[in-house]
Structure 1
């Protein structure tokens, strides 16, 4: 029987630049593909804490608002013969904030939904980005999805 692994988090970072929302993509060092912030939940962490830690480690970006995306990314990882499920998050940051990449990434870009869809390799990424755009940009996100800002201290 195949193992189900739920130890991952994944999130889209958004900002508003020149009256338009942009999404942050990062270019992976080893594999060379574009992706969003993602990583593993460590012992004793809640999922939202793991996402904020990963965001800080990978970009050093401060978050102004955090939501759970009401979305689970699912994918099969053949090397481990496992199905991974990553809990999705949406983080908003100020347009003036500077991205400081760690060694996991070689580049970053702020892009529109259309640009992000063209850049990323996996259909599941595209679906996640479309979901986020629909429910967090085109529509006002539900207050029920908001993680209180006093929780943002990791």
Structure 2
């Protein structure tokens, strides 16, 4: 039997940079690969509370527009024999959003879709970025995806 872990959330930040929509990738210290924001749900947090906290911790981005990406990242983690199911959120940031990384990452880059696909090593990341680009950049965002929250 392979257990399923549902205690992680992830989020893709989008910001208009020099007139073009871009998504945020960060280079992780652990493993030295490019990724989007992600982290564990702590204590009695909801998934929404966890992603808001993770954005603040990892990037200092104060979330003002949060969306359910309508996508689950899923992959097998062989080192712990677990299938990860991770809800993906999208954060629409102000144009030219400033980023201040914590010690989990060494650098960041605002990428167009092709740059993100080139930098990110995992097929599941590619699926996330293509989905987000399709539903949040290439077409108007469906208002049903908006996630109401209180800070």
CA distance in 1, matches of 2:99, 2:19: 20
Q: Which runs of 5+ in 2 are unaligned?
A: none
Q: Secondary structure at the match of 2:100?
A: coil
CA distance in 1, matches of 2:10, 2:87: 6
Q: Which residue of 2 aligns with 1:86?
A: 86
**Alpha-carbon shift at residue 94 of structure 1 (Å):** 1.1
TM-score (norm: length of structure 1):
0.95
CA distance in 2, matches of 1:30, 1:18: 31
**Alpha-carbon shift at residue 141 of structure 1 (Å):** 1.6
CA distance in 2, matches of 1:95, 1:19: 9
Q: Which runs of 5+ in 1 are unaligned?
A: none
The reply on whether 1:75 has 2:75 as its aligned counterpart is yes
Segment drifting more, 60-69 vs 125-134:
60-69
CA distance in 2, matches of 1:75, 1:152: 31
CA distance in 1, matches of 2:126, 2:97: 25
TM-score (norm: length of structure 2):
0.96
The reply on whether 1:37 has 2:37 as its aligned counterpart is yes
Q: Secondary structure at the match of 1:49?
A: helix
CA distance in 2, matches of 1:61, 1:95: 12
Give the number of aligned pairs: 151
After superposing on structure 2, the runs of 4+ consecutive aligned residues of structure 1 that deviate more than 4 Å are: none
**Residues 7 and 40, structure 1, Cα contact 8 Å, conserved in 2:** yes
